Amino acid sequence: MSKQVRKSPDHAEDDQITEQERVEAATLTKLKSRMVYEIIRQEGRTELSRPQSSIWWSGIAAGIAISMSLAMEAMIRNGLPDREWRPLIENFGYAAGFLIVMLGRLQLFTENTITAILPALADPCRRTIVGTTRLWSTVFLANMVGTAVAAGFFAYSGALQPEVKQAAVELGNHVAEWGAWETFVKAMPAGFLVAALVWMRPGSEGNEFWVIVFFTYLIALGDFAHVVVGSTELFLLAFEGEGEILKLVVVNLLPAFAGNLIGGAGLFAMLAWGQVHEEMEKK
């Protein structure tokens, strides 16, 4: 009598997987980085084709919404004792504005540093370069208008409790203490981390909330400089008479802009492009 060979559960599962399914699984694994790149590139192309007025108003809305990062952080700071562990908790408030902006699909300059540059890297022609420059300049100026409106509201409306507004001014003074070079250096990691956040979002469906909280908490905890959130802090100082606007713009705002741009578009986007461009060209 022949002996019946009993297959282990592992072998039974293997028999259920066809050769075509193995090929598809291998293909999906190899395409993973390319797929993420293509998703973000398509998003960038969509943004480049949107009407200027839509980008402008979305950018203003983002500037106003991002100011909630400063407001939330100031509220938490006001409710905590002045201890060495306070930053570990208050910095969670930094995520508030980013959650509104990113989940609401509003136009944020540092988010666009990677989405807009990938189409230009894939097709470096006059049209994509001019379109990217137009998008960046429009979104950045609109963000600045939005943060200035929000800072003026915080300064003069009485919406914030005096103690909370004072805490927000303290946060702004901390940023204003940095010199131009220090601001520039601190801004590069922030630009890199926001670009990394954008890169990870396509693969984090259903967990976007926690991904945004993690990366923005890391920016705040590292004491890095984000130009849009920082502009709210600097404009609030100007409205409160705590600093000269020219110094705040030249020494703090513009270096943060340059650092975020280099960290996001210059460093992360180039690394992202570098890991997929040969595969894209072969394809």
How far apart are alpha carbons 6 and 30 in whole angstroms?
Answer: 35
Q: 31 near 66, Cβ under 8 Å? A: no
Report DSSP state, residue 49: T
Provide the 3-class DSSP secondary structure of residue 79. coil
For 51, the token pair is 């009407």
Residue pLDDT, tens place only, 239-265: 999 888 899 999 999 999 999 988 887
pTM above 0.85, yes or no: no
| Domains by residue range for the chain, with CATH | 35-282 (1.20.1080.10)
For 273, the token pair is 């492009």
Q: How far is CA 200 from CA 196, 210, 211, 212, in A?
A: 6, 12, 8, 10
Reply yes or no on whether the pLDDT at 48 is more than 70: no
Low-confidence winner among 64-68, 77-81, 110-114, 131-135 (lowest mean pLDDT)? 110-114
